[in-house]
Amino acid sequence: MPYPRPLATTPLAEHPTVPDGLTATVPRQLVHRASVAETFLTGAVSNATDQFTVFAEWPRAHQLHVSPDRSAYEPLLVTETVRQAGTLIAHTAYEVPLGHQFVLQELRITTHPEHLVMGAAPAEPVLHITVPEVTRRGGRPAGFRYEAEVRLGEERVATAHVAATWTSAAVYRRLRGGRTAATVSALPAPPGLPPAAVDRALPADVVLAPSGHPDRWQLRVDTGHAVFFDHPLDHAPGMLLLEAVRQAVRARTPTAPRTAASFHAVFHQYAELDLPLWIEAEARAGAHGTDLQVVGRQGESTVFECGVGTEGH
């Protein structure tokens, strides 16, 4: 498959604000989305070698990424925007072919919810991206680490560090041993927690099912969910796992609700759709109040682990 057209190199000084003409989203394929409604980026420029500015727009209404009362953007919207920025840059600046499979290895993000208040118009964040490390295989990029600073106007709303790799579709098929979206079926979703217990408006958006233990839940996987499964997948996506972390924080603090504001997630293996995945949380002393460590397990294997920084209401 041909390479996407590279980003034009444009000095940052020529674009102190959003450039004229960014009136539509980038092609959805460049951020691995099937729906234009789930594509949040509107453009990007290359400022210098391994340095980029990415532009986005956040909707004022969204099934998941806007608070139920539509007063604020969710920290996971920032996270998804950072993820999309990395994918866009990989395809356009590092010549990763469309059709390659991306593997998220590590994500560290700290958001500032006080700066995520909804305004009278859709927010237009600007992401400043630096790529300090590119891994090459056979002369071609095979992965990278990138840093992101997300700003709304003069406010810094988040900082992030992401590590990801990618591989061709053929290699991915071999790695997955024939497991595809067409051959793997998700387990039936068990009854979920009450939506209010995880700060969700709709039962369909609840991703945790009770296990009988207050700090342990089963992941509910609905492959028909329009956000988590925007397109068919052979495994549970990272954003679904992070939503499980977010909901675990709320479920664990029912009398004094807390919000997951920062995440440090390490992904060890694919979360399989046809095996139960258990989400476990435990408190740990953090530098800023009480933090949680959330772990996802399938059988004897740890799928992911995530340290969470929380803020009270």
List pLDDT tens digits, range 186-206.
999 999 999 999 999 999 999
Instruction: Give me the mean pLDDT over the 262-291 stretch.
Output: 86
Provide the residue type at 74 as one letter: E
Instruction: Give me the mean pLDDT over the 263-280 stretch.
Output: 97
Query: pLDDT tens digits, residue range 18-65?
Result: 454 456 899 999 999 999 999 999 999 999 999 999 999 999 999 999
- 42, 79, 195, 313 from 201: Cα distances, Å: 29, 21, 6, 18
172-176, 272-276, 281-285: the lowest-pLDDT one: 281-285
Indicate if the pLDDT at residue 243 is higher than 90. Answer: yes
Instruction: Give me the mean pLDDT over the 96-116 stretch.
Output: 96
Query: Which residue intervals of the chain are DSSP H helices?
Result: 75-93, 169-175, 238-252
Nearest to 245 by CA among 272, 280, 210: 280
What band does 305 get if pLDDT is binned at 50, 70 and 90?
very high
What band does 115 get if pLDDT is binned at 50, 70 and 90?
very high
Residues in Cβ contact with 123 at an 8 Å cutoff, skipping those fewer than 6 apart: 57, 58, 73, 152
pLDDT on residue 284:
75
The string over 192-230, giving b where at least 16 C-beta atoms fall within 10 Å of a residue's C-beta and e elsewhere, is: bbebebbbbeeebbbbbbbeeeeebbbbbbbeebebbbb
pLDDT on residue 286:
55
pTM, rounded to two decimals: 0.91
